[in-house]
Each structure stands twice: as structure tokens, then as C-alpha cells.
A and B are shown apart, each in its own frame.
Chain A
């Protein structure tokens, strides 16, 4: 039971291969996966640590949704690492694709969370006894 729970929690934080894509298992790990913005902030300046591993030496390219061209391509590699500095303003994906095609063999979603609101009513704190959050 505990093992299943651990597996479930771990799967929440991991970028998994895209279902139905290249049968060669590829694992893409990106850190961080979350950008937290305060109400008046417009972007996070993030240096992403991007790592991937494949069971077959393949030519892969790393893509960023905001870029028309791959960030980087690796010729016949089993793994790769890359650091990428970027401003983040909205949710987007990094993904790996074969050098010869556009399909996504593994992807990682980077999410933007805005804490606070421009609507002041959503920021009001109630004084209820049970309100602890």
C-alpha cells in the first residue's frame, strides 16, 4: 500500500514518456517544473536543468514551445543534459523529438502559478474560527 502511494506521488512529479510515442523508453526530467508569481510579478527568471535518458542511442532534439527551432540536438546519445535560462510568463512544454521528426517522445510541462489576485475580494481574509488557510 505504502509502495503504491509512493509510486503515485512520485509519478506526479515526473515527466513521463508521451503515450503511443516512440517505443524506445525515454525519460525527460526538468527542474524546476513550477514558477510561482506574486500578484504584481510578470515573469520568473529560471535556469532549467534538463536531463534525459534513453535505452537506445538515438538522435534527439530538445524543444521549447516558445522556439520555432530545437534548443539543442544530440547525435546518437543515450543521455543528455542541458541548462537553459529563460523568462517564464505562462505554462509551456519542453519536449524531446527525434532529429528527423516532430513527434514528442517525452515532454515536461512547466506551470505558472499566480498567488494572489487582482480582484481584491479574492484576497480578503475571513475571521471565521475554522479558517486556518
Chain B
């Protein structure tokens, strides 16, 4: 899998053997300028060679502008101005942008890894604000303050409306990676091992990349089932979090989906123009949570990306 097959070498060798050597060609017309001459179609390839082994480390940086919308109430979208890509791949162990993995099986049909990762739902909770709400009622054209529920008649104190805090969860699971002429596929199953949400997520995604000249485009689609425990921990309003401004809500498990498009135009071997967009639909149960203002997450980015 890591090296081209003997068949590839054989085909390449045949191409090289069939290609006649180009020859020295003197310009018949002397003078101060030479005109364009198209050579006969005699393709010549370099001598066949082994594809050099890939470096263990992969460093990349993207600079540009983009953002992910934040589906939470009272939240700010997540700006993406710099996107770092840091990864290391050993014989079996690997580190891929905070995912730590170990390849259990690697054969011509699929690769199975055991992976530890951080749950990504927590990221939205780092960009929230607190708002203070005054309860009023409109009577006869005038707004009159009223006591908020369970405030024992006090009318002057604004009531805090705050998105509850959530912790990062460490999840451990298996992923299977497939590829072929048909594209790339991934199956994943992860369970919390940090006693944070104590739930699990199962997902599948598919992508296909076309390369034409310097341009590549890769659409992708994916579905994910999030268990009730996971969904409720992050997106539910628990009994101890209920406020006059925030009603309790329990979230069941459900299926969400996403679709994306990543395009690149390669300027040099290490620099490209990158444009990407992604749409993620939250599960129906999560979308109904009082913590959720938008039932989707839209992400986009456009900029320059370097790979070192």
C-alpha cells in the first residue's frame, strides 16, 4: 500500500521504452530570433523511479478569512483566519491535529485505526455571552416591568441568561478508512472515556476528489448518529441549569448530516489557493433545544495554504 505496485512500474517502464528519445535539433534559420517549432509528438518520461517516502511530519498553515457559524443562542461565530495543520505519522502510531491514533489493520482494502480525540461539540461553548433580561408586559401602550417567574415579586433586577458551561470530552473509538477509484469512505464509532457525557457517536462519510491540471475539487457528504447521553450533555438544559429565562430540555439521540466542498488551485508545489465550504444539519432533537438558535452550522474559508 505504501509503495507503487510492480504493475505500475511495469506500465511506466513500457511507456518509457516505447517513447523514442528526443534528439538535438539545430535551428535551420540563423538570425537574431528563432520561431516556435512544435516538436513531433514524442512523449518522453523521466526514468521510472520509486515514489519517495513521505515525511513523518506534516506542517501546513492556511491564511485567509472564513468562519463557522455558532448554532448556540447568545454566541459568536467562530472566525477562522489561521488554520494550522500539524500531524505526525509513524509506522503505526500517528498524531493528526489532536487526534492520537494507532493503526490496527492496514491492507489493500481498508485501514482500521483506534483513535483518541476530543469531542468537537464543546468548541461552540467557548464563544458564548451572558445577557441580562428584564421582564416587561405591555399594557395600554406602556411597558410595565413584571416580576420574572419565581422571583418572589422583585421587578427591578434583570435576570441572567447564560449558556451553561460544558467540558471537553475525551473519546476513544475505532475508525475504518476505505478508498478506491470510487473515492474515500470513513466509518467511525467513538465513546466517551472521560466520564463527561458518557455517550457515543457513530458516523460515516464519503468524499471524492477530482484533479484537473492544477485544480482539485472534493465534495463530501456524511451522516452522524449522536446518542442521547452525548446530545443531552452538550445541548440539553439540565435541571440545575433551569432559569426563568431558560426552560429545561432533555435531548434524545438523533441523526445529523453534513455536506462540504473543498477546492484547491495549486500555485506551486507547496502553495495553493484554498476555498472550502461546509454545511452541517444538527439532529432534529438538538435543533429544538432552547440553547440552539440555528439548526445548522455553516463553515467557509478562502485563502492561501502552505504545506511544508
Contact = CB atoms under 8 A, between A and B. Distances in A.
Interface of A: 12-13, 32-34, 36-43, 45, 57, 61, 64-67, 69-90, 92, 111-133
Given A36-B211, A71-B22, A121 B94 contact: yes
Nearest to B60: A133
Interface in B52-89: 54, 58, 60, 62, 66, 68, 78, 80, 83, 85, 87, 89
Given A77-B32, A115-B216, A118-B1, A133 B274 contact: yes
A125 B220 contact: yes
B207 interface: yes
Contacts, number: 212
Given A114-B51, A123-B184, A133-B276, A84 B269 contact: no
B46 A71 contact: no
A76 B30 contact: yes
Contacts of B207: 125
Contacts of B41: 85
A82 B49 contact: no
B138 interface: no
Contacts of A124: 96, 175, 177, 186
Contacts of B45: 43, 66, 86-89
Given A115-B266, A119-B54, A125-B186, 17 more contacts: A12-B268, A13-B267, A34-B266, A38-B209, A42-B4, A69-B24, A72-B27, A73-B24, A81-B36, A88-B45, A92-B46, A111-B268, A118-B4, A118-B51, A124-B177, A125-B207, A128-B120
A129 B280 CA distance: 11
Given A37-B211, A75-B30, A77-B34, A119 B1 contact: yes
A117 B54 contact: yes
A89 B36 contact: no
Interface string B143-183: 00000000000000000000000000000000101110100
26 contacts: A13-B268, A34-B214, A42-B8, A42-B12, A67-B44, A71-B22, A72-B26, A73-B27, A77-B34, A78-B32, A79-B33, A82-B36, A87-B19, A87-B46, A88-B45, A89-B45, A89-B46, A89-B48, A116-B209, A119-B1, A120-B111, A123-B179, A123-B184, A126-B97, A132-B80, A132-B299
Contacts of A32: 214
B262 interface: yes
A88 B49 CA distance: 12
B269 A130 contact: no
Interface stretch (B98-106, B129-137, B233-241): B98-106
B31 A119 contact: no
Contacts of A125: 186, 205, 207, 220
B202 to A, nearest CB: 13
Contact of A129 (B23, B94, B124): B124
A126 B123 contact: no
